[in-house]
């Protein structure tokens, strides 16, 4: 009898030890695995993908950045992190505007841009001085401003987003491409707008083909241009291809040889990108970048077309916070007044 009892006891003891071992593993190993997955996150519940969106807040047009941010935040459930880039003098203003308005709920980081990086790289041009503002060149330096993200969205401030920004973020970039842009020849409706206001949508409108350095590129002047006001960028490829260094090289060559100027179509920030990214970029869905709303105070798109659009861009001289301009109601839907009262809309009755 005794040997039989002792075997049972041994089996029971082994069973108890096995159960204890299983329970121990569940209690001690489970949280440690979770911990390693969330170590880089700000809080455990934020395990969903973060969408970094870069927008500049320039003096005199901060209301633009606020409206753009408001439209993005209001139209998505995605986990958006706004990188708001400004100069040292403007940062306190934009921070207060956000913290003292309904935008206080957004996730954001304020990043100071040092204009000294542009020293000796910008040719002074009096015809459109606003195009020489330092923040126009922030898009050249994305990897210096954004450290931890693989994929980044850059947006000009004179835009409104009517769709879910997640869709834009999901834009596929082909292998070897550091960025995606919108082609200037992509939508029939924009062709009509371009023709009606005489806007250039080829390389001829941006580069000076009388210069040998431009002709040596071997790019046909009739090649369709693209608009770098909306960019989906891959930071790994950008760094690998040394895109920032390439852009700086062409900026310096322009200072020395005047290869492009703001009297041409897109001024000084678009032209280097047209050169560096020629034939090496992916495309954005055309409805995610409806352009030229600021090109003329008289040319208008159909209301139905604009309602279908995911993103509206008032590129050109006629901005929706100024007067005259078109489709201002679509922009003003998302504008949040400045709590400090410094930024005011210009309206015919104001």
- What is the pLDDT confidence band of residue 340, given thresholds at 50, 70 and 90? very high
pLDDT value of position 147 = 85
CATH of span 51-190+226-252+269-333 = 3.90.550.10
Q: Does the pLDDT at position 45 exceed 50?
A: no
Write phi, then psi, for 51 (nearest 5 degrees). Answer: -105, 105
Instruction: Dig out the tokens for 301 from the structure.
Output: 């798109």
Write phi, then psi, for 192 (nearest 5 degrees). Answer: -60, -45
Instruction: Dig out the tokens for 93 from the structure.
Output: 């203003």
Taking a C-beta distance cutoff of 8 angstroms, is the pair 292, 310 a contact? no
Q: Does the pLDDT at position 226 exceed 70?
A: yes
pLDDT value of position 286 = 92
> 213 or 268, which is more confident?
213
Instruction: Dig out the tokens for 339 from the structure.
Output: 């709590």
- What is the pLDDT confidence band of residue 13, given thresholds at 50, 70 and 90? confident
Domain range summary for the chain, segments of one domain joined by +? 51-190+226-252+269-333
pLDDT value of position 129 = 62
Q: What percent of the chain has pLDDT over 70?
A: 81
Q: Does the pLDDT at position 126 exceed 80?
A: no
Across the range 202-217, mean pLDDT stands at 93
- What is the pLDDT confidence band of residue 192, given thresholds at 50, 70 and 90? low
Query: How confident is the model over 71-109, as pLDDT tens digits?
Result: 999 999 999 999 999 999 999 999 999 999 999 999 999
Instruction: Dig out the tokens for 75 from the structure.
Output: 């139209």
Query: How confident is the model over 280-330, as pLDDT tens digits?
Result: 999 999 999 998 899 889 888 999 999 999 999 999 889 999 999 999 999
Positions of E strands within 119-217: 151-155, 159-161, 179-183
């Amino acid at each position: 009898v005794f040997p039989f009892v002792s075997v049972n006891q041994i089996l029971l003891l082994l069973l108890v030890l096995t159960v204890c071992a299983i329970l121990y593993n569940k209690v001690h190993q489970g949280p440690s695995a979770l911990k390693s997955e969330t170590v880089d996150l700000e809080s455990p519940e934020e395990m969903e993908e973060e969408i970094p969106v870069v927008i500049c807040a320039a003096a005199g047009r901060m209301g633009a950045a606020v409206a753009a941010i408001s439209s993005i935040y209001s139209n998505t459930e995605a986990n958006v992190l706004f990188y708001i880039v400004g100069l040292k003098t403007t940062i306190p203003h934009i921070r207060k505007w956000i913290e003292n308005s309904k935008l206080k709920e957004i996730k954001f980081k304020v990043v100071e841009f040092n204009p000294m990086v542009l020293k000796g790289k910008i040719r002074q041009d009096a015809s459109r001085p606003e195009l020489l503002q330092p923040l126009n060149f922030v898009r050249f330096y994305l990897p210096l401003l954004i450290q931890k993200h693989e994929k980044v969205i850059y947006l000009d401030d004179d835009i409104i987003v009517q769709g879910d920004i997640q869709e834009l973020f999901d834009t596929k970039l082909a292998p070897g491409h550091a960025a995606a842009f919108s082609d200037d020849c992509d939508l029939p409706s924009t062709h009509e707008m371009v023709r009606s206001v005489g806007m250039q949508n080829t390389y001829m409108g941006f580069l000076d083909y009388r210069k040998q350095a431009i002709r040596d590129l071997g790019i046909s002047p009739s090649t369709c241009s693209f608009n770098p006001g909306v960019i989906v960028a891959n930071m790994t490829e950008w760094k690998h291809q040394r895109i920032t260094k390439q852009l700086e090289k062409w900026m310096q060559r322009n200072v020395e040889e005047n290869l492009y100027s703001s009297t041409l179509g897109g001024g000084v920030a678009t032209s280097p990108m047209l050169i560096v990214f020629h034939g090496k970029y992916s495309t954005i869905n055309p409805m995610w970048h409806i352009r030229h709303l600021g090109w003329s105070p008289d040319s208008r798109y159909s209301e139905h077309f604009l309602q279908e659009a995911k993103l509206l861009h008032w590129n050109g001289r006629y901005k929706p916070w100024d007067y005259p301009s078109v489709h201002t109601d679509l922009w003003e839907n998302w504008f949040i007044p400045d709590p400090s009262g410094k930024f005011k809309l210009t309206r015919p009755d104001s």
